Structure formats: C-alpha cells, structure tokens
Amino acid sequence: MSLLDLDAMLSQNLETVEAAPEFVTLETGVYDLKVVKDEAKMREAKDKAAAAAAGKATEWFDLVITYGVENTVSLEKSDALPPKPGSLIQENFQFTDKGLPYFKSRVVATAVAMGGTEADANSLSPKDVMDTFPGVATFRANVKKNVENGDGKVYEKNRITNVVAVPA
C-alpha cells in the first residue's frame, strides 16, 4: 500500500460503506423480534486437554439464532434507552441431546406465534428452520437481561421467554 492508496481510502465517502450490524445486550423488557439468521457453528473448548481429561467434548456444534429488534414495546427500567431498530441479539443452543430440547422449544414457540401449530414445528428439521425462519419469523417476547460473574469477569446475556404473535 502506498501513501496515495491510503489518501484515497481516507478520502472515500462513507455513503458507499455498509454499516456493520450492532450486537447488543437488551435491557429487560418486551420486544418484537425477527429471525435474521439461523446457522450451525463449530465450537472448540478453550483448553482441549483439560476438557478431554474431564471427559467433556473438545468440539461441538451450536445452533445459533440471530434476532433483529423490530420494535421496543416496553422497558422494565424507566431510565433505560431502547435499542436502535435492527440491533441484533443471539441465542445459542448446543447441538446435543441436552441442547436440542431447548432449540425445539424455541422453534415450536416461534412457529405457533407465526400462526403454525406444534405439529408443524415438530415436522421441521434444524436445516428446515435455518432455511425458512430468517426474514419471515417475527414474534413478541419478554427479554430478560441476566448479569453473571464468572472467573472474575462480568457476563451479560439475554433470555427470551413468553414468545407470542405480534398483535395486528
């Protein structure tokens, strides 16, 4: 890269650059959410030797659902600011015997909120969900902000509950 290239890059209009999505931890409240993306992601233990010694998996898949905020209906704290529409959050479900029941619960609740039935949801595979829910599945839900301390660090995450249809 030359100084001329750097000068050209610094002079470019930001109108031609697509803004990156903003991932947030939502404040506790009620939100209208839309499934933006469903994907399977490979995960690895931070310390593979310790995981193997403890009899735990060293690699696994998570099913990851990314939601976009369509609307903030209400917030628990009156001084909390609502997120910008389009802000993103994620839910991770381990693709294991323990994680799949939680994924199924989310899929069933989302399908019912969209006007489907539990039987409709039960007939879907994880691949079907990844292929059909993004851009289509919209619902209203309670979102609870959880703050956990672990290993001397603070972790913030959201828990989605009470999934229902968005009122017309």
Annotate 20-58 with DSSP letters as a single string: PP-B--PPSEEEEEEEEEEEEEEEE-SSHHHHHHTT--S
Instruction: Provide the 3-class DSSP secondary structure of residue 139.
Output: strand
CB 122 within 8 A of CB 108: yes
Q: How far is CA 26 from the centre of its chain?
A: 11
CB 28 within 8 A of CB 77: yes
Residue 98 token pair:
């323990």
Residue 36 token pair:
């933006």
pLDDT digits over 105-156, tens only?
999 999 999 999 999 999 999 999 999 999 998 999 999 999 988 777 888 9
What are the Cα distances from residue 80, in Å, to 4, 28, 75, 85, 139? Answer: 46, 9, 7, 15, 22
pLDDT at 155: 86
pTM attached to this predicted model: 0.84
pLDDT digits over 4-62, tens only?
688 888 888 888 888 888 999 999 999 999 999 999 999 999 999 999 999 998 999 99
Specify the residue for token string 């917030």. Answer: 75
Buried b (16+ CB within 10 A) or exposed e, 121-156: beebebeebbeebbeebbbbbbbebeeeeeeeeeee
Backbone angles phi, psi at 82, to 5 degrees: -70, 150
pLDDT digits over 71-88, tens only?
999 999 999 999 999 999
